[in-house]
Amino acid sequence: MSHPIETENLRKVYKLGKRKGDRIAVDSLNIAVPEGAVFGFLGPNGAGKTTTIKMLLDFVHPTSGSATIFGNPTSAASSRRLIGYLPEQPYFHKFLRPIEVVSMHASLAGVPRKEVRQHSISALERSGIAEYSDTPIGKLSKGLTQRVGIAQAIVGDPKLLIMDEPTSGLDPIGRRHARDLILQLRDEGRTIFLSSHLLSEVESTCDIIAVLKRGKLVAMGKPDDVQAKGKQVTIQVDTLTDETKASLKFAKVGIEEEAGAIRLCVAPEMLYWVIRMLEKSGAKILRLQTERESLEEAFLRLAA
Ligand SMILES: Nc1ncnc2c1ncn2[C@@H]1O[C@H](COP(=O)(O)OP(=O)(O)OP(=O)(O)O)[C@@H](O)[C@H]1O
Ligand SMILES: [Mg+2]
């Protein structure tokens, strides 16, 4: 079975002109998005999320490498038909009304003519924008326009939804609504690929996350796994001899001294070595604590 999205050494280099050289926006990206999953594509500003999405949609050509949609090249018309897309900043003509925009997208997506209206109304309802169906888009707020974007993305009943920052511009109620909608869409068997730099968003929504840093993948897995890798152990000790301190520092063990308390931040793989070291030096362990890294901390560690 082909994955909804698969990339192989996908790379995009933008040429910035003779003086400025090249910018590697996406670098040898290998990801496989399983069917029926919500896949969170994370990274700070400029990490390469939108560029990747544009390559998946065949808006931008990769410099090298390739991507497939359900096993077909991104350029195949059949690939495009299976995708609903929410752009980073959806823009619609301000005189059009949401019902018109969404109906147009329904037609483009191949919804039979007789069903266009019903499909459009249902998409507007699901996106929480039904009451504004007939309001010109120029009169809608940013968040409401974003919801029109969501409605046009889902109206064609896509098997794969690609959403570039679906919750940006939404208030907390809108965010919760979008999150619930994404989970509902997943439960209907669709695959959702969404980008975000809001960790709190993806933690409760995504089955898998991939973290991108300057175009490179730095972590991928279940949100829990990405966090667990960064688990640190904090050891509080009564004293540290200068000699032990030097050895610990050499081994890159973090030492914090604050108000008479000495705390060591130890990576799990170093724990045994550090405890032996402390024993030898005669230091007493006052407290040992495993600190679960928050996803926010994991993100900062991985992507900063
Ligand atoms: N058309 C372009 N020409 C030149 N450089 C570009 C172009 N588009 C993007 N870039 C550069 O490529 C890098 C990745 O940009 P991209 O828009 O993919 O990031 P992003 O992860 O979507 O960021 P954000 O979170 O801000 O949306 C950035 O350094 C950006 O400046
Ligand atoms: Mg972007």
Tell me, in angstroms, the distance from the centre of ligand 1 to residue 291's CA. Answer: 34
CB 23 less than 6 A from any atom of ligand 1: yes
Counting Cα atoms < 13 Å in the Cβ hemisphere of 73 gives 8
Residue 222 CB neighbours (<10 A): 12
For the residues 226-250, what does the mean pLDDT come to? Answer: 83
CB 48 less than 6 A from any atom of ligand 1: yes
Structure tokens at 175: 């965010």
Residue 283 CB neighbours (<10 A): 19
CA-proximal residue: ligand 1, atom 25 (nearest): 45
Tell me, in angstroms, the distance from the centre of ligand 1 to residue 49's CA. Answer: 8
Q: In sequence order, what are the beta bridge partners of 193? A: 39, 162
* CA 47 to ligand 1: nearest atom: 21
CA dist 65 and 25 (Å) reads 13
CA-proximal residue: ligand 1, atom 17 (nearest): 50
- Domains assigned to the chain: 5-223 (3.40.50.300), 230-292 (3.30.70.980)
Place of tokens 């050494």: 9
Ligand that lies nearest to the alpha carbon of residue 25, given by its number in the listed order? 1
CA-proximal residue: ligand 1, atom 27 (nearest): 45
Report whether pLDDT(83) > 90: yes
pTM for this prediction: 0.81
Helix (H) or strand (E) holding 64: strand 64-69
Pair type for strands 5-15 and 32-33: antiparallel
- DSSP characters over 11-54: EEEEE--TTT-EEEEEEEE--EE-TT-EEEEE--TTSSHHHHHH
For the residues 255-283, what does the mean pLDDT come to? Answer: 88
Report whether pLDDT(229) > 70: no
**Contact present, 46 and 26 (Cβ < 8 Å):** no
Tell me, in angstroms, the distance from the centre of ligand 1 to residue 26's CA. Answer: 9
Tell me, in angstroms, the distance from the centre of ligand 1 to residue 83's CA. Answer: 22
Residues with Cβ within 8 Å of 5's Cβ and at least 6 positions away in sequence, in order, are: 31, 32, 33, 39, 56, 67, 68, 69, 160, 191, 193
Residues 34-81: tens digit of each pLDDT: 999 999 999 889 999 999 999 999 999 999 999 999 999 999 988 888
Residues 171-191: tens digit of each pLDDT: 888 888 999 999 999 999 999
Residues 117-161: tens digit of each pLDDT: 999 999 999 999 999 999 999 999 999 999 999 999 999 999 999
Helix (H) or strand (E) holding 175: helix 172-187
CA-proximal residue: ligand 1, atom 7 (nearest): 14
Report whether pLDDT(201) > 80: no
CB 49 less than 6 A from any atom of ligand 1: yes
